[in-house]
Structures are given as structure tokens and as C-alpha cells.
Structure 1
Amino acid sequence: MKESRARSEDFGPPSLSVESKPERALSEAGVARAYKRLAPVYDLLFGQVLEPGRRRMAEIVRKLQPASLLEVGVGTGLALAHYPHTSRIVGIDLSREMLERARERARALPDHQITVEYMNAERTSFADGSFDCVTLPYVLSVTPRPAELVREIRRICKPDGTIVVLNHFSGSRFWWLMERAFRSAAEHVGFRSDFRYEEQILSHDWQVASIESVNLLGLSKLIVLKNRRA
């Protein structure tokens, strides 16, 4: 995988931004409430539209063939079937209602080694360096404290392990108007619309191995990171 030198300029010209009030901070309870409401309809609303990104993420993981894999924000388990069956897979989430659906999917995959647990990814119970690979599909912008989540996943990912981030970032040429529309409803849907690549990715000292646009009109970015830590 070639190293990418992606910069904030890759996410559209600054002129697309407009002045607006900061979004209300997300809370753990607010996110849990949002996904309790969404659980029965999540697959219908976000299954197919975000599936290309999940498939590409899983393809990257299959090439890596990690012995151990953690999926943060496993949700209803839509990506589980696409991970390598040789990996020991753990999925965690804050929504018990979403996890019930993930457990159903895990039970339908007897050839996979899957454990699904209720856990806050900002403060997990895992030991340092527990996983060869950590994936974060559509979760970084819905966690209350992204910096704490990043710190935690880097702790539990092995040194030189792989972290795969699949997320929407602000500045897309096609989606900037929708971002503004979402701002007032962020708490209700458990989503932070104003989420910047330079702040959440480039500000950390990990290595960006690759970055690509996925989903309709480049709605999401798939970023592969090497966990450079002492």
C-alpha cells in the first residue's frame, strides 16, 4: 500500500465553508438514545447506501489477514460477514439494541470467531496492544470525545498495527450543503456533521498509509493508518 500525502485541500476548497454556530457537543447518553431509536430501521436507512465503504474496508482487512481484529461501533454487524474467518473478531458498541442485531448476525456465521460486547470505546477493558487491526466504520464522528477514542484505539492496537477509519469528513464538494442542514439535528441523529480531516486525522502522529473516497459522490473517506507509537 503506497503512503498517501493527503492534505486538507483534498476535501474541497475552503470557500465552501460558511460561518455558523458550533454544533452542540454529543453526549454518551445522547448517542445511545439516538441509536436506540435507529436500531429497528438502521439497516434500511444506512445499509445499502453505506455498503460500498464497508465492503472496501473489509477487502483491505482481508488483504491484511490480521490474527486479531476489533471493530469499534459494530452496530448491527453489517460488516462481520466480510471479515476473514481466520481472524479473531471482537465487535463493541454503546447501543444494546444495535448489539442484539449484531449477535444475530454473528450466530449466523459459525465459521467466524466473533465476540460482540457492550463497551464504550473511549475507555475499553482491553490490555495494551490487544489487536493487530482496529476498524472504525462510521463511528469517529458519532463518539462524544473523538480525541479520547483515538487515544484508546492507539493504545489497544499493537505498535505498527493497522487502524482503518471509514468516515464522513467536512469539505466535500458535493455534500457541504447537506452538512449545514444536519448541524441543527446532530444530537437527534447522533451525528457530528462538521468533522474535519485535518483536526481528526492529520493532527495525530500516526502514518497515513492510504486514503480513498468511497460511497456515493465521495460521501465518505476510507483511511488506512499505521499505528506509530512508543
Structure 2
Amino acid sequence: MSRNPFDTTRSTTGVETVVLPSPRQAGQRIDDSLTQEQVRRTYGRYAPIYDQLFGAVYAHGRRRMAAALRSVAPRRVLEVGVGTGLTLDCYPSTSEVVGIDLSDAMLARARRRANALNLANVALHVMDGEAMPFDDASFDCVTIPYVLSATPEPARLVRELRRICRPGGHIVILNHFSGSRFWWLLERAAQPLSSKVGFRSDFHFDEHVARHDWKILSVESVNPFGLSRLVVIENV
């Protein structure tokens, strides 16, 4: 029988927080340019206006991500970086959906959205995606929208995604990657500020996706001017 992974405390906002041991081990490299606390503070500030800033501009990518997920009809889904829950009502009602996020403030809004939409198949938890307490092969599909370039150690997150996704299951990455001619100057301009606003502007597909020994099924440009890519992967 699988263990119950959730030892929780409750914040003043009523959001359950998963209590984990320190995710860092001695000798591990830590990317000082982007830390968990920086991400948590940044998205805490974004929470009240996140939907207005990023809801419409990223909507096409979220719709395409949800369509990719529906095509594989997963029984159990994990969304890493669920934010304010903008994708929650796009998932199949027949799927059990777990959403996690580092930010209490973002997740409080996701919880209100799930309650307003009466999404009985959704469970939400504050959690570090780089050190998840789930058993191996716990999910049929893992989605990761706009998070891979906003986590302190992307390689560590990828290892966790592969561990908790069952072999033959699917990992769906939605993210900005460097290389678009249109966005080249914008990336260079944003680079000095990127760690202060909780993401990396200079983030390469070959380094963070293509080099891994998983099976890439499709890559699709999404969002205005090809700002993002949707990558569907079979976990092997």
C-alpha cells in the first residue's frame, strides 16, 4: 500500500503546506541566481495581478497543453506550478488532478477557483517540485506549465518529474526557450533582471530538454510570436 506523503501545517490563509526535509544534500550545487525563496516572494507579489498580467497572453499555450493531456486520457495527473489554477478546468473530469506550487498566495487563489468551479477531482498542495514526497510512478501524466525556467535547479526538477511519472506515461512541458529571432533582444534586455523577477530569460531547449534520454513525441510553438514551446514527452 502506498504511504500517505502529506504531513501538513496550515497557514493563516487556510492553505495546507506539505512539510518536507531539506531538499538539498551536502555537496549539491545551488544556483545562486535563482532561489526558492526568491521564487516564493516574487510569485507572492504577483498573485493578486497574475491573471491580469499573464492570463490572456499565455492562454493559447495552456489550451494546447490541456488538449495534449486529454489525448492521452490519463487517470492521475500532476500539475507542477499550478499557480492560480488557470488550467484546472481544462483537465478531464474523469482524471484525478493534483496541483502543487511553492507560493501560498498563488495556491490560495487556485483553491478558490477550484471551489467556485466545483472541481471535486482536484487536490492542491503547497510543495517543492524539486523534492516531492510522492511514491515512484505515482502519476500517468505530469504537466509543467511555465515552471522549468523558474526553478532553482531545473535538472533536479526533471529527475523528480521522471521519478513520479510512471514508465510509459507522459510529461508535458510548456515553457519559454531561447533561440527565437523575434525574442532575442528581449531576452538579452531581461537577463540582468531575470533572477529578480523569478525566471531565467536565457534558457535553452538543448540543455534542459533535448539532452535527456526520454522520448520527445512532439514540439509545438505556442503563444503570440512563438513565445513558448509545448513539448510532449514519453517517460522511459
Question: What TM-score, normalized by structure 2, do the two folds share?
Answer: 0.85
Q: CA deviation at 1:110?
A: 2.3
Q: CA deviation at 1:206?
A: 0.4
Q: Is the 8 A contact 1:132 1:161 kept in 2?
A: yes
Q: CA deviation at 1:111?
A: 4.7
Q: Which has the higher contact order (CA 8 A, sep 6+)?
A: 1
1:218 and 1:112 map into 2 onto residues whose CA distance is 34
The one-letter code matched in structure 2 to 1:92 is: I
**Alignment correspondent of 2:147:** 139
The correspondence for 2:100, drawn from 92, 97, 102, is 92
**Alignment correspondent of 1:103:** 111
Which secondary structure does the structure 1 equivalent of 2:57 belong to? coil
Q: Within the alignment, does 1:130 sit opposite 2:143 as a pair?
A: no
Q: Within the alignment, does 1:70 sit opposite 2:78 as a pair?
A: yes
**Alignment correspondent of 1:14:** none
1:167-215 alpha-carbon deviations (Å, 9 max, x no partner)? 0000101111110111111122101011000000111000000011000
Would you say how many aligned residue pairs link Structure 1 and Structure 2? 206
The one-letter code matched in structure 2 to 1:36 is: G
The one-letter code matched in structure 1 to 2:156 is: E
Which secondary structure does the structure 2 equivalent of 1:74 belong to? coil
Q: Is the 8 A contact 2:215 2:233 kept in 1?
A: yes
Which secondary structure does the structure 1 equivalent of 2:210 belong to? coil
Q: Is the 8 A contact 1:139 1:167 kept in 2?
A: yes
Which secondary structure does the structure 2 equivalent of 1:225 belong to? strand
1:25 and 1:135 map into 2 onto residues whose CA distance is 25
1:106 and 1:83 map into 2 onto residues whose CA distance is 12
Which secondary structure does the structure 2 equivalent of 1:40 belong to? helix
Unaligned runs of 5+ in 1: 1-22
Same amino acid, percent of matched pairs? 57
The correspondence for 1:121, drawn from 114, 125, 129, is 129
Unaligned runs of 5+ in 2: 1-30
Q: Within the alignment, does 1:40 sit opposite 2:51 as a pair?
A: no
**Alignment correspondent of 1:10:** none
1:64 and 1:113 map into 2 onto residues whose CA distance is 18
Q: CA deviation at 1:37?
A: 0.8
1:74 and 1:111 map into 2 onto residues whose CA distance is 14
2:118 and 2:94 map into 1 onto residues whose CA distance is 12
Q: Is the 8 A contact 1:35 1:98 kept in 2?
A: yes
The one-letter code matched in structure 2 to 1:163 is: I
1:68 and 1:119 map into 2 onto residues whose CA distance is 18
1:103-148 alpha-carbon deviations (Å, 9 max, x no partner)? 0111123254000000000000100000000000000000000000
The correspondence for 2:163, drawn from 155, 167, 175, is 155
Q: Is the 8 A contact 2:89 2:119 kept in 1?
A: no
The one-letter code matched in structure 2 to 1:48 is: A
Q: Is the 8 A contact 1:24 1:187 kept in 2?
A: no
Displacement over 4 Å in runs of 4+:
none
